[in-house]
Amino acid sequence: EPEVTQTPSHQVTQMGQEVILRCVPISNHLYFYWYRQILGQKVEFLVSFYNNEISEKSEIFDDQFSVERPDGSNFTLKIRSTKLEDSAMYFCASSARTGLAKNIQYFGAGTRLSVL
Amino acid sequence: DAKTTQPPSMDCAEGRAANLPCNHSTISGNEYVYWYRQIHSQGPQYIIHGLKNNETNEMASLIITEDRKSSTLILPHATLRDTAVYYCIVRGNNYGGSQGNLIFGKGTKLSVKP
């Protein structure tokens, strides 16, 4: 069964450093998302991406965050200068192109980001 | 998207049916009910969705009341691996370019016990 793949599974970084979280969405999907979950809290939407541009973003997704689809398979989330409060699980998701199926989002296993 | 209300936790005996309720009294006519679950810090997993008719797939059944103000997710024979947080999410279907996001609440923590 096709799945969303995220790497690395755990990223440790120093405060102020840049990190790039990587995702390979399901191959025929065209809509891509990033969510985060701070330990013990709810899953929160960050950004959605379609047709090489951001469709929607939340208040959390400020100027420190950016997303990119550098090639036909990868979808990345960059945090320019990490803060302690960026420590969280980051989930990538994707959904299909047409009909009701495009509202079913499939999630990766997540990247645990630890900012020290 | 309409707000949903779920009990914070439920227990179920292994092999029995787990019935997880969700209230969505402000749901509008074009909004669907989606269920996802999250098994201990893994990524959320899609289970099922519906508009007004009852739905069934290999994972679960979804019963939506006639007035659509509430629904119940049924896991017919719960196993220990079904222990997870279950989220009921109501959202519209956009057929334009914007896909919108999923708004996760706190969900129901289902504990399946031997």
Which segment of A25-39, A89-103, B46-60, B76-90 scores lowest on mean pLDDT?
A89-103
Q: Rounded to 10 degrees, what is the CA torsion of A36, B72, B34, A24?
A: 60
Q: Can you give the pLDDT at residue B100?
A: 64
Scan for tokens 């989930």, then name that residue. Answer: A91
Q: How far apart are CA B50 and CA B72, in angstroms?
A: 11
Asked if A43 has any chain B CB less than 8 Å from its own CB, the reply is: yes
CA distances from B86 to B11, B47, B57 (A): 12, 9, 16
pLDDT surpasses 70 at B96? no
Residues B101, A56: C-beta atoms closer than 8 Å: yes
Residues B38, A45: C-beta atoms closer than 8 Å: no
Residues A104, B101: C-beta atoms closer than 8 Å: no
Average pLDDT for A28-46: 93
Residues B97, A45: C-beta atoms closer than 8 Å: no
Query: What residues of chain A, 48 to 87, have a C-beta less than 8 Å from chain B?
Result: 48, 50-51, 55-56, 58
Which segment of A1-10, B28-37, B86-95, B96-105 scores lowest on mean pLDDT?
B96-105
Q: Can you give the pLDDT at residue B9?
A: 97
What is the number of CB-based contacts under 8 A between chain A and chain B?
Answer: 69
Residues A56, B42: C-beta atoms closer than 8 Å: no
pLDDT surpasses 70 at A4? yes
- Closest residue in B to A34 (Cα) is B101
Asked if B30 has any chain A CB less than 8 Å from its own CB, the reply is: no
Residue in B55, B92, B53, B93 with CA at minimum distance from that of residue B73: B55
Q: Can you give the pLDDT at residue A82?
A: 97
The model's pLDDT over A70-98, given as tens digits with 9 standing for 90+, comes to 887 899 999 999 999 999 999 999 998 65
10 Å CB burial of residue B45 (0-12, 13-18, 19+) is middle
Q: Can you give the pLDDT at residue B97?
A: 41
